[in-house]
Amino acid sequence: MTILPRDDTNEEAGRLYLEDLHVGQRFTTGSHTLDAGQIKAFALQFDPQMFHLDEESATDSLFAGLAASGWHTAAISMRLIVDGGARIAGGLIGAGGEIHWPRPTRPGDTLHVVSEIMEIRPSRSRPDRGIVMMRDETRNQNDEIVQTFVAKLVVWRRPGG
Amino acid sequence: MTILPRDDTNEEAGRLYLEDLHVGQRFTTGSHTLDAGQIKAFALQFDPQMFHLDEESATDSLFAGLAASGWHTAAISMRLIVDGGARIAGGLIGAGGEIHWPRPTRPGDTLHVVSEIMEIRPSRSRPDRGIVMMRDETRNQNDEIVQTFVAKLVVWRRPGG
């Protein structure tokens, strides 16, 4: 994806500004399938705990089998959204949010993300932007939710709008 | 790290059970220095937006310069905690939490995490465990906070305790 300059001379077609969003609007991404190798490679670098690294040890853990790091699920979800979720003008800029992992992501899972706009708050102090609350649900191939993230996004108003 | 069996025959010395924790208890990790290469490599895989990939494009973005993906800051923070934060028996098992990125992580930043136990709730329905709220602050070399994560952790009671 490319960064949009904040004027309309070089606007990428179809990108969404604050005025283009409404509460209840939904976006669905493409999908990504994980395997054990991806789970272990991420864990080795960022979350080297045995339930993310070794099938046998994971059997005796709370997860009762190899599970992806929650941060891996979060990172994959972000990639799916950047590639094919809400195409926000200027990019997806998150200030943070509330994240939950109600069930583990497993080897072989195919994930996709369904996002919904929950709230839109134009900024009073900064007329060029607003805050958008977007709920991202990451679902597996059985439509079970493996992650929810209620994100607080900075979204630009349309220049000259 | 190793997964602890949930009996005391093979306990790794110094691991912390629910009974070993108290509100206000603090843990400080070692540190990790990022460079632009790490920031771009993570972004290329998980968050390919120009403000995480290209210095020149990033100059014109909200970040006014190359910035790490928030998920990269989260992943590095996790690694720091696993390597040298609260050594919870059975590993760090997070159900989720509230994450914020009050300022960007930049190339050259040296991060560490300071964690504090905020709340301890023994489970009523499951006597072998409790829920612990832990606030993790990721700080840079100037002691500025680049991430807060108030995590909800599952922590085991000491077996036979």
Residues B102-115 pLDDT 10s: 999 999 999 999 99
Which residues of chain A lie closer than 8 angstroms to B97, CB-CB?
98-99
Which residues of chain A lie closer than 8 angstroms to B50, CB-CB?
1-3, 91
Verify whether the Cβ–Cβ distance B58 to A3 is below 8 Å.
yes
Q: H or E segment at A2?
A: none
Verify whether the Cβ–Cβ distance B82 to A45 is below 8 Å.
no
Task: Inform me whether the pLDDT recorded for B8 exceeds 50.
Answer: no
* 3-class DSSP string for A84-108: HCCCECCCCEEEEEEEECCCCCCCC
Task: Classify residue B94 by its DSSP letter.
Answer: E
Q: How far apart are CA A72 and CA B45, in angstroms?
A: 11
Residues written for chain A = 161
Closest CA relative to residue A4, chosen from A128, A129, A90? A90
Residues B48-107 pLDDT 10s: 999 999 999 999 888 999 999 999 999 999 999 999 999 999 999 999 999 999 999 999
Residues A34-86 pLDDT 10s: 999 999 999 999 999 999 999 999 998 889 999 999 999 999 999 999 999 99
Task: Classify residue B13 by its DSSP letter.
Answer: T
pTM, two decimal places: 0.91
A/B interface, count of CB pairs below 8 Å: 121
CA dihedral for A16, A20, A21, A26, sign (positive or negative): negative
Instruction: Supply the mean pLDDT for chain B.
Output: 91
Per-residue confidence band for A13, with pLDDT thresholds at 50, 70 and 90: low
Per-residue confidence band for B31, with pLDDT thresholds at 50, 70 and 90: very high
Q: What is the ipTM of this complex?
A: 0.91
Task: Classify residue B121 by its DSSP letter.
Answer: E
Task: Classify residue B53 by its DSSP letter.
Answer: H
Chain B residues interacting with chain A (CB cutoff of 8 angstroms):
1-3, 5, 42, 45-51, 57-58, 60-63, 69-71, 74-76, 78-79, 82-83, 90-102, 148, 154
Per-residue confidence band for B2, with pLDDT thresholds at 50, 70 and 90: very low
Task: Inform me whether the pLDDT recorded for A128 exceeds 50.
Answer: yes
Per-residue confidence band for A12, with pLDDT thresholds at 50, 70 and 90: low
pLDDT of res. A161: 63
List the single residue in A63, A82, A95 with the smallest CB-CB distance to B101: A95
pLDDT of res. B12: 64
Which residues of chain A lie closer than 8 angstroms to B83, CB-CB?
48
Q: How far apart are CA A69 and CA A67, in angstroms?
A: 7
Which residues of chain B lie closer than 8 angstroms to A78, CB-CB?
46-47, 69, 71
Cα dist from B56 to B44, B59, B109, B115, whole Å:
16, 5, 19, 35
- For A156, the closest chain B residue by CA position comes to B62
CA dihedral for A95, B25, A51, B29, sign (positive or negative): positive
List the single residue in B60, B74, B100 with the smallest CB-CB distance to A5: B60
Both tokens assigned to B10:
């093979």
Chain A residues interacting with chain B (CB cutoff of 8 angstroms):
1-3, 5-6, 42, 45-51, 57-58, 60-63, 69-71, 74-76, 78-79, 82-83, 90-102, 154
pLDDT of res. B106: 97
